[in-house]
């Protein structure tokens, strides 16, 4: 559901995309909905549409909470390429520290390569159209 192309200043582009990534992962870590950060037809994994993607992420957060696990996500090495019609390809490395809160905790360190599409609407709001992640590695953390 693309609108007319939006021209975005490069500094504003980088700031808005970085804010979007940070807000998205912050909400995922706090098990809060991300619907307003997604376009109506957004995609992530097998989920299609804003509601389905949000429900998927909330179900993953509940699963973590039920097993006594908490997570912290952060992204780095952000590269942005202009596509068309106010859309941009955003590539980044995402690192996740997943910690157990139970006795005998172990946790994991995960990294993945994100290749996303974001879109700016006529009001300059940046939202995810599609999120794609390819796992790079997963390491189990030993308890001291």
Write the pLDDT tens digit of every residue in 71-102: 889 899 999 999 988 899 999 999 988 887 76
The span from the CA of 73 to the CA of 50, in Å, is 21
What's the confidence (pLDDT) of residue 97?
A: 86
Residue 102 DSSP class:
S
What's the confidence (pLDDT) of residue 75?
A: 92
Residues of the chain falling short of pLDDT 50: 1-4
Residue spans of beta strands (DSSP E) within 12-142 = 38-44, 47-48, 69-82, 87-100, 108-120, 126-131, 133-140
Q: Which residues pair with 72 in a beta bridge?
A: 97
What's the confidence (pLDDT) of residue 57?
A: 92
């Amino acid at each position: 559901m693309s609108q007319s192309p939006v021209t975005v200043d490069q500094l504003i582009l980088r700031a808005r995309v970085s804010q979007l990534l940070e807000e998205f992962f912050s909400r995922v870590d706090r098990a809060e909905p991300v619907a307003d950060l997604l376009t109506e037809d957004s995609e992530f994994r097998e989920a299609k549409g804003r509601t389905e993607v949000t429900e998927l992420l909330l179900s993953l957060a509940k699963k973590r909470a039920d097993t006594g696990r908490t997570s912290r996500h952060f992204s780095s090495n952000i590269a942005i390429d202009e596509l068309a019609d106010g859309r941009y390809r955003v590539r980044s490395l995402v690192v996740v520290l997943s910690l157990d809160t139970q006795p005998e905790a172990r946790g994991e360190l995960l990294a993945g390569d994100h290749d996303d599409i974001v879109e700016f609407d006529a009001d300059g709001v940046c939202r995810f159209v599609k999120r794609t992640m390819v796992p790079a590695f997963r390491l189990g953390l030993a308890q001291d």
